[in-house]
Structure 1
Amino acid sequence: MRQYFVLFIFGIILAFSSCRTDFDTVASTGDLKFSKDTVYLDTVFKNIGSSTYQLKVYNRSKNDISIPIIQLKKGLNSKYRMTVDGMTGNNGKIFKDVTLLAKDSLYIFIETTADITDADPTDFLYTDEIQFDSGANLQEVALVTLIQDAVFLYPKQNADGTKEKIQIDGKDVDGFYLDENDSENGNELIFTKQKPYVIYGYAGVPENKTVTFEAGARVHFHSNSGLYVGNKATLQINGDISTTEKLEKEVIFEGDRLESLYSDIPGQWKSVIFASGSTNHSINHLTLKNAVVGLDFKNPLNTIEIKNTQIYNCVEYGILAQNAHINGENIVINYAGISSLSCVYGGSYSFTHCTFNNNWQNSSHFAVNLSNSLAGATPETNPLTQATFNNCIIYGSSTNEFNLQKNTSAAFVYQLNNCLLKFGNTSNADYQFKTDTEHYNNIILNENPKFYNVSKNQLNIDKTSSAFAKGNQAYSIPLDILGITRTSPPDLGAYQSKDFPK
């Protein structure tokens, strides 16, 4: 029996030996191939970590090779850091004797966190190289990052070590009040175009104060951050018509990740909240994107002017107005998880030459929602004294993009004049678009406006659109959202029609 056992063990050893591959390596000869010769890490703010970028390294030879060293040229002082096939090396900067099998590849993942002082002062670029081997076999891949300076606004640390907080809707949240005499930033209630602003937590506007955003201001909100306009406080956005694609005079609100990967991802920051009792708001030429709720009005005191404003990619609402008074002109909203425009708990609204579209990827959203009630409120209903839509487009990917939630115990006054509207089920008495002249006049029903590129939030139209020249001159606003003169009769929506590039 013992002989059989010895033979069995010998057989196993022989089998493994016959299957063994020779893992001996040869030194690299400088013939590595790379997925790119330069890795661009996009733009980052100073001292904010970048996304992770990938470089793939190929061994095209028939030999298993050993790369004596993979390192950043600036060594341990480099602001870049790497992992090489999951290894962290020496602080992510230097890796020795890296094996790469024949006809195989390895992954290098690269990140950076750099200050503006680390960059070249002439172009604000921070650069380095990944070096593979040395001497005659040296190969290099360049790394390039644009570092952008910014004004950082954030909650300060209290004496007891806790973070500064403000109250919103009765809850303490991470936040701070903007200070017109801040020792470092000066007047924080005036946002200029000199540098972009990065906000952490909620930036609050104190009672009886006005926050002003000058033309060209850029505001970037960190995750779970936003702007809070408190009781008796005022917001003024004074953007203007831009003449280039850089939107040099537009005021822009967005998240703080500048990489192209994040350009259209919803929910990167919270909201601009207008508290009950806030007052005298004016918004002109604002582009707001990638929030949870874009503009959130909670029973502000007087009429809000919103003109030439674009709101995109919001997880819940583009505009959520609770018992508000809004005069809107040349507004464009697209992509919202619940509703692009939702006016609830009554109020008074007038929208002219606006494009409310919703192509969110579910079937339960709306482009426009109107309501005169609010569950849990006291009282639960509030009169909707006016909701007028003139020369507007209300469209999207759902069957019904217009929704009425009427409570008969309070007034519900609305009217659509010369609008293109998408609505599939017209059996309900509230949606008799052809015969109910009290509420609907000259409605174009379920015809495609042929937006230029909905997925890129380009809701311009051309002369083939069903919205072309269908407006009523009596409601016309002389200039469209881009400052282009409207024709007579005007096109519906926020954009005057134009020819698209072929």
Structure 2
Amino acid sequence: MRPKIILFFIGVVLSICSCRSDFETVASTGDLEFSKDTIYLDTVFTNIGSSTYRLKVYNKSKKDINIPTIKLGKGLNSKYRMTVDGMQGTNGKIFNNVVLLAKDSLYIFIETTATITDANPTDFLYTDQIQFDSGENLQNVELVTLIQDAIFLYPKRFADGTTETLPIGDEKIDGFYLDENDPINGNELQFTNDKPYVIYGYAAVPSDKTATFEAGTRVHFHANSGLIIAKNASININGTPSATEKLENEVVFEGDRLEPGFANVPGQWGTIWLTDGSTNNKVNHLTIKNATIGLLIQNNDGTTVSIKNTQIYNSSNYGILAQTAKINGENLVINNAGLASLACTYGGNYSFTHATFNNNWNSSKQVAVLVSNYISGAIPEAKALTMATFNNCIIYGSYSNEMSLTRKTGAAFEYQFNNCLIKFDNVSNQFTTNADYQFNTDSAHYNAILLNKDPKFFNTSQNKFNIDATSAAFAKGNSAYLIPLDILGNTRSLPPDLGAYQNNVFPK
């Protein structure tokens, strides 16, 4: 009989529980509490959706309540949309009779897609409210979004649904040629600072044409997008020194996600690709952020790519990847790349002066500087490295060895490091007998090298590579290689510091 008694009591308990008034709610009395009283959805470009933002709503009373309405103040016309505890409501705008249990909470997720015409014309803010209940019980949470107007450049979409493409070898990629007589944008080869640009796909500079970027230009690339400089085409970037951290006079290339959470996310877009045969490329005061490869430079036509006063940060593969290229670099800063901050490969001719190459990528395979004269599988595999010269430079990072020199026989491999600070611990002694790493005895390739000394950068996680008088790089440069002004336009002292920055000049 004992099992029957147990079943009887279980039945009694279940019947009592079924009589609970879990959903016998009382009306909301306007006593809800919120995780935020205002939600700032950060800056978005016109007609581009925002990230999703979260609001938590609390019922701290001892009673289950019914909220008659949760809605957007502008109703069905609002440019915001939301879900309430996973419910879609009416077009994501209006929700009726939402139950919130005692001592419980619910989540509201909010997004927006708005145009510049929706925003206030004086401050470009688009605003609304989430309204809980009405009348005497009305409670509001404010919504604020800054809408930024932009010029959008993208491949054409044809009537059959296909998209304009560019031929790349035997393949095609989503892309288009910039048009100097575009009926909507005008001269697309002249980038100005009037409005930011947003590029979808790869924008290509046609042969015999030059894309020019004036000081203060902002270009934002969507995922899998970038810029291609075709054979016989050129790029001319004319940034100037800036007075503040806003880099108001720099030309800036970065992704099209403007929210703070994306500020330092690598690999958001593709690359700036100087293809085989591009010519007379000049880069001055350019900042590149969060690309896959910041600059991809391939076998330019014998003219030297000039790269001055340029910063490249957070590249998922390489900051600069050069293949059989010819580059003169002055006042460069490259930090954080999945493989190498600077990679000079498959031969070429390179000169870098007063540059700071750092890599704090969390991987034992990364280096700050890689130099080689070959590519595996290519025909031929090796090409002549006629020169790779580094003067008054810093090569540093979080890994024990931040420089890699690799060569194949059959092609020249010429390099020179003068007055450089280099991190190369050789912890396992695997390079002790390697002829390319004899820093102290090989005067043909190394002069005045500071090995494994701390440059004491100001803040590497914030890409601030300024130094002070306590740095090992302080006043260790050779005046014979002097670039008179540093990357910020400050006059260098004598003897100069190593790297791109004059000492004791820090970000404001």
Name the TM-score, length of structure 2 as normaliser.
Answer: 0.96
Q: What is the aligned partner in structure 2 of residue 17 from structure 1?
A: 15
Residues 147-166 of structure 1: matches in 2 within 5 Å? 147-166=147-166
Q: 2:84–2:108: 8 Å Cα contact kept in structure 1?
A: yes
Within 5 Å, which residues of 2 pair with 1:399-410?
Answer: 399-410=400-411
Counterpart for residue 485 of structure 1: 491
Distance 1:157 1:141 in 2: 40
In structure 2, the residue matched to 1:334 is 335
Match of 2:470 in 1: 464
CA distance in 2, matches of 1:317, 1:500: 27
Q: Is the 8 A contact 2:344 2:371 kept in 1?
A: yes
CA drift at 1:461: 1.1
Q: Using the TM superposition, give the Cα deviation of residue 424 of structure 1 relative to its aligned residue in structure 2, in angstroms.
A: 1.4
SS of the residue 2:287 aligns to: strand
Q: Which residue is 1:324 aligned to?
A: 325
> Paired residue for 2:46?
46
| Map of 2:294 onto structure 1 | 294
Distance in 1 (alpha carbons) for counterparts of 2:205 and 2:266: 25
The Cα shift of 1:304 comes to 0.5
**Counterpart code for 1:422:** K
Partner of 1:437: 443
**How far does the alpha carbon of each residue in 1:5-41 deviate from its partner, in whole angstroms, 9 at most, with x for none?**
7x77654331113345431211111111111110000
Name the counterpart of 1:77: 77
In 1, the alpha carbon distance for the partners of 2:170 and 2:481 equals 42
Moved over 3 A (4+): 7-12, 18-21, 499-502
Quote the Cα distance in structure 2 between the aligned partners of 1:10 and 1:134.
48
> 1:463·1:499 contact (CA, 8 Å) conserved in 2?
no
The equivalent residue for 1:421 is 422
State whether structure 2 residue 243 is matched by structure 1 residue 237.
no
* Residues 466 and 505 in structure 2, CA contact (< 8 A), matched pair in contact too: no
Which amino acid in 2 is paired with 1:118? D
CA deviation after TM superposition for structure 1 residue 4, in Å? 8.4
User: Alpha-carbon deviations, 1:463-502, whole Å to 9, x = none?
Assistant: 1111111111111111110111111111110011116599
Cα drift, residue 171 of structure 1: 1.5
| Amino acid across the alignment from 2:122 | T
SS class of match (1:462): coil
Q: Deviations over 1:331-361 (max 9, x none)?
A: 0000000000000111110000000000001
Aligned to 2:479: 473
Alpha-carbon spacing, 1:255–1:383, altered in 2? closer, same or farther (3 Å): same
Deviations 1:392-429 (A, max 9, x none): 00001111111111122111110100100000115022
Please list the CA deviations of residues 250-272 of structure 1 after superposition, one character each: whole Å capped at 9, or x if unmatched.
00000000001100000100111
Shift of 1:381: 1.2
Q: How many residues align?
A: 500
For 1:41 and 1:224, the matched residues in 2 are separated by: 25
Deviation at 1:159, TM superposition (A): 4.4
Matched residue of 1:409: which SS?
Answer: coil
The structural deviation recorded for 1:246 is 1.8
- In the alignment, structure 1 segments of 5+ residues that lack a partner are none
Which stretch of the first structure deviates more once superposed, 7-16 or 79-88?
7-16
Instruction: Report the 3-state secondary structure (helix = DSSP H, G, I; strand = E; otherwise coil) of the residue aligned with 1:211.
Output: strand
Q: Distance in 2 between matches of 1:258 and 1:210?
A: 28
Assess if the C-alpha contact under 8 Å between 1:353 and 1:392 holds in 2: yes
- Please say if residues 216 and 249 of structure 2, whose CA atoms lie closer than 8 Å, have aligned partners that are also in contact: yes
More deviation, 185-194/406-415: 406-415
Shift of residue 459 of structure 1? 1.2
Secondary structure in 2 aligned to 1:167? Answer: strand
Query: 2: distance between equivalents of 1:25 and 1:464?
Result: 68
Distance 2:271 2:277 in 1: 18
Judged with a 3 Å threshold, the aligned counterparts in structure 2 of structure 1 residues 469 and 4 are, in CA distance, closer, same or farther, namely closer
- What code does the residue aligned with 1:22 have? S
Question: Is the alpha carbon distance of 1:151 and 1:134 closer, same or farther for their aligned partners in structure 2, counting shifts above 3 Å?
Answer: same
Moved more, 374-383 or 18-27: 18-27
* Deviation readout 1:280-327 (Å, 9 max, x if unpaired): 000000000101011001101110100000000001000000000100
Please state whether the residue corresponding to 1:271 is helix, strand or coil. strand
CA distance in 1, matches of 2:505, 2:201: 43
* Greater mean deviation of Cα atoms: 163-172 or 315-324: 163-172
Partners of 1:350 and 1:274 in 2: CA distance: 18
Structure 2 gaps of 5+ residues are none
Aligned to 2:125: 125
